[in-house]
Amino acid sequence: MSLGRDIVRVAMADLFYLKRNVWVLLATSLVTPLLYLVAFGYGLGKGVIMDGVPYLAFMIPGVVALTTLTSSFSSIANKIMVQRRFYESFDELRLCPISCASVVIGKTVLGVVKGMLCGLLLLFLGHFLCAELQINAGLITVMLISCFVYSLLGVTAGLLARGLPTMNLFNSFVILPMTFLCGTMFSLSALPQAAQDIIWALPLTHTTECIRASALGWAFPWTSLLILCLYAVVFYAVSWYVLKTGKE
């Protein structure tokens, strides 16, 4: 299929880059979630029960969820922004006989692969530390969808950012608050209703719900999965439009 082949063509350079730097990229991406695990999981959460399970079992899926966000988003957004604004190498893609759809999806591959590698490593570590966690096909699928959504968000941000200050602003006011507030480390029911309403609109909340439900064998929140898919459609549509019309 032509779209599939073109996606691989676009992703090829990023995959060569990943192959050369995989250990450095994984190490830097895993430092923060591992610190969260140690500091919150063992330091503060020892003996605490949350939503009926030990805090560590509650927290690990949340940390996996936030890792899919941070690993997927950062690797894509910054790379595209630098390629556009500093190296102007993104223009080269315009010169190739490749559709905008292939460029948008092809550019997510690095984020998806990196996000999945980091997420899986954490998940295996979590499974070792906490017997309640289950690793199953549903969980892997949800992680894959999650990495794809945040990679698409990375493509969108990378295409729209006017420079490093804009990207830093987006990281500080959107990505960082999401990582803490979207139910990754505490139950949302602890927050005031107004705050809950806002947080329910954010994609990471739904990722956390899906991953936690899959990992702990709870009833699966299909609405959250649908909302994640809707986010994917929106991020894809915005990226495609920006690329097609040259408005980046």
Partner 1 sequence: MADIIEARGLTVKYGDKTAVDGIDLRVHRGEIFGFLGPNGAGKTTTVKVLTTIRRPTAGNIVLDGRPLTGNLSAVRSEIGLVQQHIVLDKDISVRENLYCHAMLHKIPRSEIKQRTDDICAAVELTPYLDSLVNNLSGGWKRKAAIACALLHKPKVLFLDEPTAGLDTQSRHMLWELIRVLNRRGTTIFLTTHYMDEAESLCDRVSVISKGKIADTGTPRELCEHLGRTAVEYDGPNGREYRYFRHWDEGKAFYESLGSENAVLRGTHLEDVYLEETGRENAALLKKVLRI
Question: Closer CB to partner 1, residue 14 or residue 209?
Answer: 14
- Those residues whose C-beta lies under 8 Å from the C-beta of residue 44, and which sit 6 or more positions away, are none
Residue pair 58/41 in contact (Cβ under 8 Å)? The answer is no
Shortest distance in whole angstroms from residue 117 CB to partner 1: 18
Q: Measured from the CB atom, is 79 or 206 closer to partner 1?
A: 79
Closer of 100 and 144 to partner 1 (Cβ): 100
Give 108 or 207: the residue with its C-beta nearer to partner 1.
108
Comparing CB distances to partner 1, the nearer of 17 and 220 is 17
> Of the two residues 94 and 162, which places its CB atom closer to partner 1 in the complex?
94
The answer to whether residues 55 and 41 touch, using CB atoms and an 8 Å cutoff, is yes
Rounded Cα–Cα distance for residues 212 and 140 (Å): 12
**Nearer residue to partner 1 within complex by CB, 16 or 124:** 16
The answer to whether the beta carbons of residues 69 and 204 sit under 8 Å apart is yes
CB of 164 vs partner 1, minimal distance in Å: 17
Q: How far is the CB of 161 from partner 1 (least distance, A)?
A: 18
Phi/psi-derived region of residue 96, left when phi > 0, alpha when psi is between -120 and 50, beta in every other case: beta
Least Å distance, CB 109 to partner 1, is 13
Question: Within a 13 Å sphere around the CA of 109, how many CA atoms are in the beta-carbon half?
Answer: 22
Distance in angstroms (rounded) separating the CA atoms of residues 99 and 236? 13
Residue 234: burial class (beta carbons within 10 Å; 0-12, 13-18, 19+):
middle
For the CB of residue 92, give the shortest distance to partner 1 in the complex, in Å: 5
- Token pair, residue 164, equals 């490093």
The least CB distance from residue 90 to partner 1, in Å, is: 8
Among candidate residues 101, 188, 185, 110, the one with its CA nearest the CA of residue 150: 110
Q: How far is the CB of 20 from partner 1 (least distance, A)?
A: 6
Cα 153 to chain centroid, rounded: 8
The site for partner 1 (CB under 8 A) is made up of: 8-10, 12-13, 16-17, 20-21, 87-89, 91-98, 246
